[in-house]
Amino acid sequence: MSRLWTVTSRLPLTSILVVATLALSVWTRSLWDPLLDRPLNDSVSYGLPAFEQGSWSTVLTGAFFAARPFQYVPILLGLIVFGGFAEWRLGSLRYAVALVSCHVVAVLGAAGLLWLTRDHGYAWTTHLAAVRDAGPSAGFLGAAAAASVTLSPPWRGRVRALLGAYVVLFVIHMGALADLEHVLGVGFGLLLGPTLMGGAPSLTFRHLTRRDFRLLASGFFVIAAVEVALRPFTTEDGPFAVTMSPEARAAELADTDLLLGVLQIVLWLWLARSLYKGRRLAWRWAVGLLLVVMVIQVLNLGYMMAVGEQGLLAAGWELFGNGLGLSVCLVGRHAFRNPSPRRARRTSGSIVAPADDDQRSRATHLLRQQGTVNRLAWMTTWPENRWFTPASVSGYVAYRVHAGVAVGLCDPVASAEEDRSMLLGAFANAVHAQGLVPCLFTVTGEASRHARAQGWHSLQVAEEAWVDLPTLDFVGKAWQDVRTALNQAAKLGIGFRLGPLRDMPRGIQMQVKAISSEWVEDKGLPEMGFTLGGVDEALDPHVRVGLAIDADATVHGVTSWMPFHASGGGDPAGWTLDVMRRLPGGFRYSMEFLIASACLAFKEEGCALVSLSGAPLARTRPSAGDESLDRGTLDVFLDRLGESLEPYYGFRSLHAFKSKFQPRHEPLYLVFPDEAALPRIGLALSRAYLPDAGMRELVALARSGRQ
């Protein structure tokens, strides 16, 4: 009862509306006696007929009733859920403004549209022009749309997408007067929200990330599945159904075979799930199916136009919807590169052939079994890599192909130094045989020596920061910031949790994904990749995440730690920092607290070291031996890209931040065989780090770098 009172006192207007609606339904007996069948209907229900009779007051009085008894269930639930959400986010006064204005605009707007379009040959509007309605649903849906402005990404977009999909699907398939009012109410609510919060409505565009394209493609097929589920309930007087001939309409509405519908829903949901995971095979299936369906629809549309058959509007809508889904898949094809669970088709022996899950599993096994000297090597197991595994050596080189360059990632993986040197040479020969340029990025001094011994060049491109755990002790002035973070966390009741993210509760996973999505979207630039992991990589069962969680189970910050397997394999000898994300407005010292707590936890487990990784595009000094080489275009690219991205991604600030942990530094290198290939390598690295960036984004970065 105390919790109920707390919620009621926080949502006074919602509570009053629910009680008033329920009380009036009992007092007027409309809770069990349909309002539309009684004289009271003319006094309280709204619609074009009521307004033409001069009953303008029904705009407000009708909001407290339902046309039929069963409609009180969704109305009361909607007031509690959508109305409660809007009042919670906006406050009672703003919620009242949003509720009333969205309701009035929706009711009067629908009546105005019907007045303009009735008796012009469109049976849907002609029918609705004679219909009355009651209920506040357009108001509370519009208020919820207005309240979405208070949410942070990605929840803001998700709430708006769900509301938009609901009102559009129902107006198409049901076509009732209330459905038309819902469209207008939600649309006006989206415009009203920024104004209520002191801003102005604005339409902004940003570059879509890989995750955005996956969500859009997945959402398209989810909507397709929902439409199949709605097919048995589609009314004959919907906006598209009324344009069809009676015979075609009867055939369409009678086509409700249960087994076929279930199979379609299962297929669309499988495609939606696989596209969300970025599966290449699912993308091929989706594009192929949409192309076949669209060809059939185009031929059918041509036939209908030739013979004068009715239903062009419905056929055109279906063609437009499928064309939109196909466009998303084709434009965002770069987002669907992850190999399918089964072995993907590939050309045997080709260095540019796509990899599959079997190859990734073998690479992961080899890394754990053989080990390597590069503490960043776990990123070589990420799914967007390819793996070169010659039969003569037990090991591999992970690489990606961009702009005619096979960019190797980290040192070759093998237990013996001699094998790692042989892998480098074999990889170079295989790449050259395919007409590509080989190089290895972020390699250690050992790989740099091997490369120079084979006639290659070596350039320092980053520095790795690492901490010795056996001697770690947060004592002295240099550790003041770290001690402050630990003490503040203890005072605020913020604890540290360490473990695989995929084994944590669903609610924790959703918070981590939301924090990461908001971090990416707030940058206003494409999501980076290559040596920078995200939530997908953190879900690897071998990766552990550190979480800063308060007593209310709110996640304030997250870090992910990749295992480091030293030469010879075995259990992890240490852990390497990858993802760093903080909740906006959360605990100020989250990162210091998380890294310090993880170091202490790993020290207790007996690990020898922790790597704070290398900050991309952040170099403090050139390495010995670089002075004789004309770094030219590559230096210009690395410096300009680092300067341009610093305000957005803060790589150089991150490099400075890690100094709080008194790390030792080890240079990381780029090795390559031919100095003339530096311009092409620079372009390949830009594509590796910004795989989703278009020419506009690259030009913007170049301009900002010159300012």
State both tokens at 327.
Answer: 């466009």
What local confidence, expressed as pLDDT, does residue 488 receive? 94
State both tokens at 649.
Answer: 């991604």
DSSP 556-600: EEEEEEEEE--TT-SS-SEEEEEEEEE-TTS-TTHHHHHHHHHHH
- Which CA distances in Å does 128 have to 142, 175, 177, 270, 311? 21, 9, 6, 38, 19
Give the helix, strand, coil percentages of the chain, each rounded to 5: 60, 10, 30
How far, in Å, CA of 531 to CA of 658, rounded? 17
How far, in Å, CA of 281 to CA of 486, rounded? 47
What local confidence, expressed as pLDDT, does residue 620 receive? 47
How far, in Å, CA of 65 to CA of 77, rounded? 14
The overall longest dimension of the chain from CA atoms, in Å, is 97
Burial level of 267, CB count in 10 A (0-12/13-18/19+)?
A: middle
What local confidence, expressed as pLDDT, does residue 644 receive? 54
- Which CA distances in Å does 550 have to 426, 555, 591? 52, 7, 15
DSSP 265-299: HHHHHHHHHHHHTTBHHHHHHHHHHHHHHHHHHHH
What local confidence, expressed as pLDDT, does residue 624 receive? 41
**Residue 101 amino acid letter:** S
State both tokens at 287.
Answer: 């594009």
Domains and CATH numbers, the chain: 12-204 (1.20.1540.10), 224-335 (no CATH), 357-464+619-650+666-706 (3.40.630), 467-614 (3.40.630.30)
- Which CA distances in Å does 349 have to 183, 355, 421? 56, 11, 21
How far, in Å, CA of 278 to CA of 242, rounded? 39
Q: Are 637 and 682 in contact (CB under 8 A)?
A: yes
Q: Are 322 and 359 in contact (CB under 8 A)?
A: no
What local confidence, expressed as pLDDT, does residue 43 receive? 86
What local confidence, expressed as pLDDT, does residue 547 receive? 96
How far, in Å, CA of 663 to CA of 104, rounded? 63
Ranges in the chain, pLDDT < 50? 341-348, 620-632, 646-648, 702, 704-707
- For the segment 271-291, what is each residue's pLDDT rounded down to a tens digit? 999 898 788 889 999 999 999
How far, in Å, CA of 62 to CA of 181, rounded? 13
Residue count of the chain, please give it. 707
| Interhelix angle 210-230/258-276, nearest 10 degrees | 170
Query: Quick one: which of 464, 450, 368, 370 has its CA closest to 408?
Result: 450
Query: Quick one: which of 514, 497, 530, 502 has its CA closest to 692?
Result: 530
Q: Are 385 and 409 in contact (CB under 8 A)?
A: yes
What local confidence, expressed as pLDDT, does residue 616 receive? 55
Query: Quick one: which of 215, 209, 341 has its CA closest to 281?
Result: 341
Give the helix/strand (H/E) hosting 4: helix 2-10
Give the helix/strand (H/E) hosting 406: strand 405-409
What local confidence, expressed as pLDDT, does residue 129 receive? 92
Query: Quick one: which of 245, 265, 369 has its CA closest to 309?
Result: 245
State both tokens at 598.
Answer: 């993880």
